[in-house]
Amino acid sequence: MKEDAIAPPSTGKLDFTLEGPMPKIICAEDNAANRAILRVLLEKLNQNCTFVENGAELIAHLNEDSYDLILLDINMPVMNGIEACQMIRNGGGGELHRAVFISALTAAASDESKQAAIDAGMDCFMTKPFTTEILKNIIKQYQEYSSPS
């Protein structure tokens, strides 16, 4: 085995440092425990987030304020994530948000669920359970999406 192929010993610490533009995040998640987990994980990344409990509340917030990144649960009461995403892409969350970066949050990891999210206009797909590293990667995807070509 080549010497350079061996990984350095782990320090046990993960790097949660993010560089580049930090998004203003809103998350639609109906489960209080999942909201609490997301809040803690985002705090590790020095990110603040506005939380709402369903797609209808999300649409109302989008029409009142500007956001850069939406974390959107798929299965919620009142208005689910697929319906909310379609409404946003059609201008229902304000013209400014038609092209906002949207990541699906779901416990349903099936190919059908992923395809439904993509068909609705979501930019990426995150399967629960969440980790800080997964959220960091979503924010990096947002940064790549939002940076000028």
pLDDT tens figures, 125-138:
888 888 888 888 88
What are the pLDDT digits (tens) for 6-16?
Answer: 333 434 444 45
**H or E element that contains 126:** strand 124-127
Q: How high is the pLDDT of residue 18?
A: 59
Judge whether 115 and 92 are in contact, CB under 8 Å: no
Which of 56, 48, 47 is closest to 28 using CA atoms? 56
Question: Tokens representing 20?
Answer: 């580049």
Domains of the chain from N-terminus onward: 21-143 (3.40.50.2300)
